[in-house]
Structure 1
């Protein structure tokens, strides 16, 4: 094993083997509380998901981040099946999502900072629970989390969210696991970045998602200037009668911050998957980004976006 490695659900792998990487996806979202509220999020058909990931592999894709954290629909055994069928390496996530994806009486509110930290560390170092913490029993598998997540909404951070921040950073510093976050349309991204800096996180292993939804070049620059990484995933979401703010940001910002930007699709809705009869499908970025970069004379940064930046970001620090 080389000094730098990333942790997939099938085991630790040399970072040199990461290959073309999508930095924020949703591969398995099994039936449960989240899909009960949002049936459009149901992604649990192993055959369909394996088919789409197989096409991704054939197009050159090698690794995806599954950004569903603890008790939000993870099914680690289905994920393992999909990875083996498709050949695609999956980095699975621990941590906590937005409050709206949990019942009001959920354990995440009752657990202390130390208890949450120990739970997250167990996902990273021992193995993910077969039942995703949905029942009274925990049956740890051999398949470990290689990333830890937190999420904030449009409002200033609550005391509860600050507790999650501390538990996530505690886990990150103790295990070396990288950090990924959710921002709502990029809101509170700057505040997230500054809090991670204050808590002593290794900022080159921290990535904030959806920041392209903020649209503003100046705001994205301010976030990047703190030293964190950002992940853009809305290239296919902009309406036809408005600018493609994701591509605009890449054109302007990528040359100035070549080592800090990653891309993904964030296809949490089954209607985005071709194998479910939807569009645009997982291969969208592979199909459009190289031509876009070439049209702007910045094709030299292609490897940064899909290879070099994920390879550094998702390696254990």
Structure 2
């Protein structure tokens, strides 16, 4: 079977992925996270489509949405934005960090097999129209193409290990790739150890936000495991830009394992909402900086080759 990736509008061969933003938040519907932080609200299809159309005009072709089950996911809006903008969107399943769910959420009461069953159904059958907010489940034709989990600053808990087992089981059953959230790169090695223990294919696992930790030996140890990493903080640094420093040091050693995105989860980052720098930053300012640093030859690795291997179904 030829390698493929799964978008909200259907499966495509990986050679059609093109320039890829490896970690974004495209739609965040009114939900528990937006009640905690209204800046997370990203649910206006017209404005979101306008922003993604700018990315398309700059050369972008695929984006990975990373708001998983029952914390603001709206797969029908993702599909609408994809049709309007031309951007191919990979939709997630899985579970986010605990802070994005109420304390009595079903994530705590469902067992490993039940959670894995939900993730597998999202991937193989289609994502629930109501995103598991109620007793009725109505599966759409829009399927998940990635599984997400998250850990925080503290040691990985027993509950989080249950999520790891469920996510890895769904990954092994479906071949879907895995994306994780790390807090400032913390617990990254511990995540890799658990994935290795539970039998995940590290070539199809990507750890996000790790460029928030500037520790070269830590990054080298992490990359030597074979896992993929995603850097997304280039536009956030106010003084020393550690993202560019890491890329200068690590791209020559590990050209096949690094991907990039923006993780622009607040509408205050979006031009279409009146914010800045806008999602086209990655294909304008960021690429210009790569050229200035003598790293432009790695563009195809960062934006095309590495994401297409990572997000392919194994």
TM-score range, shorter chain: over 0.9
Deviation, structure 1 residue 290: 2.7
Does structure 1 residue 66 correspond to structure 2 residue 78? Answer: no
Residue 61 of structure 1 aligns to a residue whose secondary structure is: coil
**Is 2:29–2:73's contact at 8 Å kept on the other side of the alignment?**
yes
Deviation, structure 1 residue 37: 1.1
Select 2:294's aligned residue among 289, 292, 297: 297
Q: Deviations over 1:106-149 (max 9, x none)?
A: 10100010000101000000000000001111110000000000
Alignment partners' CA distance in 1, 2:44 and 2:274:
13
The aligned counterpart of 1:196 is 195
Deviation, structure 1 residue 222: 1.3
Does structure 1 residue 249 correspond to structure 2 residue 246? Answer: yes
Deviation, structure 1 residue 293: 2.3
**Is 2:234–2:286's contact at 8 Å kept on the other side of the alignment?**
no
**Is 1:196–1:203's contact at 8 Å kept on the other side of the alignment?**
yes
Alignment partners' CA distance in 2, 1:221 and 1:194:
15
Alignment partners' CA distance in 1, 2:296 and 2:31:
42
Does structure 1 residue 264 correspond to structure 2 residue 264? Answer: no
**Is 1:255–1:298's contact at 8 Å kept on the other side of the alignment?**
no
Residue 259 of structure 1 aligns to a residue whose secondary structure is: coil
Alignment partners' CA distance in 1, 2:82 and 2:134:
25
**Is 1:274–1:280's contact at 8 Å kept on the other side of the alignment?**
yes
The aligned counterpart of 1:313 is 310
Question: Number of matched residues?
Answer: 314
Structure 2 residues without counterparts, runs of 5 or longer: none
Deviation, structure 1 residue 272: 0.3
Decide which moves more: 294-303 or 275-284: 294-303
Deviation, structure 1 residue 13: 0.4
Deviation, structure 1 residue 291: 2.4
Q: Deviations over 1:25-49 (max 9, x none)?
A: 0000001111111111000010000
Residue 226 of structure 1 aligns to a residue whose secondary structure is: coil
